[in-house]
Chains A and B, each alone.
Chain A
Amino acid sequence: MPSRPRKLRLLWLQGVTCNGNSHAFLNLPWLDALLERFDIMYHPLLPSLYSLEAVAACDMTCDVLVFEGAFAPGLRRGEKGLGALLEHYAQQASYVVAAGSCASFGGMFKDAMPEGSGLAFVHDKPGGPLARQGVINLSGCPVHPEWLGYALMMIADNETIALDALHRPKALYSHLAHDGCLRNEYFEWKVDAKQFGQKEGCLFYEQGCRGPLTHASCNRTLWNEVSSKMRVGTPCFGCTEPDFPRRNLFETKTNMSIPEEVPIGVTKRSYLTLTGIAKSFRVQRLESRLIEDE
């Protein structure tokens, strides 16, 4: 009988964070199966082998370092400076994973903290304490638990993870959040959603949806296996991109009624030509409620 491979030792550290990624991770439907492949040295919510204080002593090593939250140079964890803690564990680790947009690019907390950064990026530019190390960025606010599960399982299986220019796994971030959106018929015919929470209408024209401008697979791999923001009638906030968080998340920026930004890879001239023609045709079925309220 072949012996089981040694479990990888996973350490989960936190910077300036809301704990959102830790909580999201707990919603991974196959979390138990994933955890069987790792020894959890420390995680703020999961049963762990060591206390944070023991980890902060820096007299051991990990195979996989997962970091959540923005990096702040002055922050201390377990009586140890965060910079020194990261330096020690990242040097020994085979993989470093930035979980969420704050750890990847600075995110929400970088906004209020000029000295803050992601692990290896400041927005879309290399920077931060591990800028010279190969960090896997799993952006998202929070990171989709399935994406984190995918990356960790690839690591456990010793599979290569191909990354894009922002160090995000191509398998997860090559498509746009628009891909798989159930409102695509409304997008094609340029029929706006007039309010949130309805099944009808596209959220791109007025309600601020960033789906056609955001690399993410939220509509290909659903949240909690059932849904996504757009499916319930809320715009995509573009939370996987390095410019997150933007301002006025519920409003599409327009200039003279024309969207300031158009879908990635499409010229504004082409987009406006197509839009003008599509808007010339009234599709009655798409302009009224599919199911009237009682």
Chain B
Amino acid sequence: MARSSKKEARKESIITTALKLFSEKGFYTTTIPDIAEKVGMSVGNFYNYFSSKDILAKELIMYISSYLGARIREINERPVDAKTKIAAIVSMYFEMATEKPEMIEYFLRVYLSNREVFGEGCEGMVCVSPFITELMLFFESGVASGELRDQDFFSAFGLFMGYLGGMVFLFGEKILPEPLSYYEASIAENIYHALKAP
């Protein structure tokens, strides 16, 4: 394996390990030695990859945003109507929350709950741009095609992602009696009815 790709693989390993630890133990109680130990590297070597925990935290949210953005972009580019896209986004999001819970957990429990960590360098939409941009494109094309009602972007965004985030939170807290997939169809239907043009 070439040196650069080996380094990339190690970086990826730190990212996935840190995501799990942050989402399980919390951001402040997880230390760099905890992450380094779990990855199987020295603390000194860890700093060759990320110079601080805050910088790692920002890198993680950009990693998740790029991942989510790429998944939604793939749905956006399908030649289907907005209703079908809503169902696909709900399904993708719940699948991600089930298969890779650390990603959504990190978003909800670290990024949204520790805003002080994400000040400089992650202002506003800077670190979540790929994800937000794809949702903008989804909403814009839905209104342009006449399927969705024209309204303020954040009103629609909050309705869609707040709903999904809330369900994943309940799932994470083990409050939901059924797995997330059980609710997919009804939630997609609810979102569509809330957003559709009269």
Interchain pairs with CB closer than 8 A, number:
58
Chain A interface, number of residues (Cβ within 8 angstroms): 15
Q: Is the interface of B mostly helix, strand, loop or mixed?
A: helix
Cα A90 to Cα B139 in complex, Å, equals 51
Question: 24 A-B pairs, CB-CB below 8 angstroms?
Answer: A254-B150, A255-B144, A256-B142, A256-B148, A256-B152, A257-B152, A257-B153, A258-B139, A258-B140, A258-B153, A260-B144, A268-B137, A269-B73, A269-B133, A269-B134, A272-B133, A272-B136, A276-B124, A276-B129, A276-B133, A277-B126, A277-B129, A279-B124, A280-B126
A256-B139, A256-B151, A258-B136 given; A276·B125 CB < 8 A:
yes
Chain B residue contacts of A268, Cβ below 8 A: 137, 140
Are B123 and A280 neighbours in the complex by a CB distance under 8 Å? Answer: yes
B140 touching A255 by the CB < 8 A rule?
Answer: yes
Which among A257, A258, A277, A281 has the highest number of chain B CB atoms within 10 Å?
A257
- For residue B56, CB closer than 8 A to chain A, the reply is no
Not counting A255-B143, A273-B133, A280-B125, a sample of 8 additional A-B residue pairs whose C-beta atoms are within 8 angstroms of each other reads A255-B142, A255-B144, A256-B151, A258-B153, A260-B140, A268-B140, A272-B133, A279-B124
* CA–CA, A255 and B153, complex, Å: 8
The chain A residue with its CB closest to the CB of B73 is: A269
How many Å lie between the Cα of A276 and that of B133 in the bound state?
8
Q: Give 1 or 0 for each of A257-279: 1 = CB within 8 Å of chain B CB.
A: 11010000000110011001101
What residues of A have a CB within 8 angstroms of the CB of B187 in the complex? none
Q: Are A256 and B125 in contact (CB under 8 A)?
A: no
Identity of the chain A residue whose Cβ is nearest the Cβ of B124 in the assembled complex = A280
Query: In the bound complex, what is the Cα–Cα distance between A258 and B137 (angstroms)?
Result: 9
Closest 5 CB pairs of A and B: A280-B124, A255-B143, A257-B153, A276-B125, A256-B139
List A contacts of B143 (CB < 8 A). 255-256
What is the bound-complex CA distance between A183 and B114, given in angstroms? 37
What is the distance, in angstroms, from A190's C-beta to the closest C-beta of chain B?
Answer: 11
B156 near A256: Cβ-Cβ < 8 Å: yes
B75 on interface, CB distance cutoff 8 Å: no
Q: Which residues of A lie under 8 Å from residue B126 when comparing CB positions?
A: 277, 280
From A256, A273, A281, B124 is in contact (CB under 8 Å) with: A281
- Known: A268-B137, A269-B137. Contact between A256 and B130, CB under 8 A? no
B39 at the interface (CB under 8 A from A): no
A280 CA to B128 CA in the complex, in Å? 11
B residues within 8 A CB of A258?
A: 136, 139-140, 153
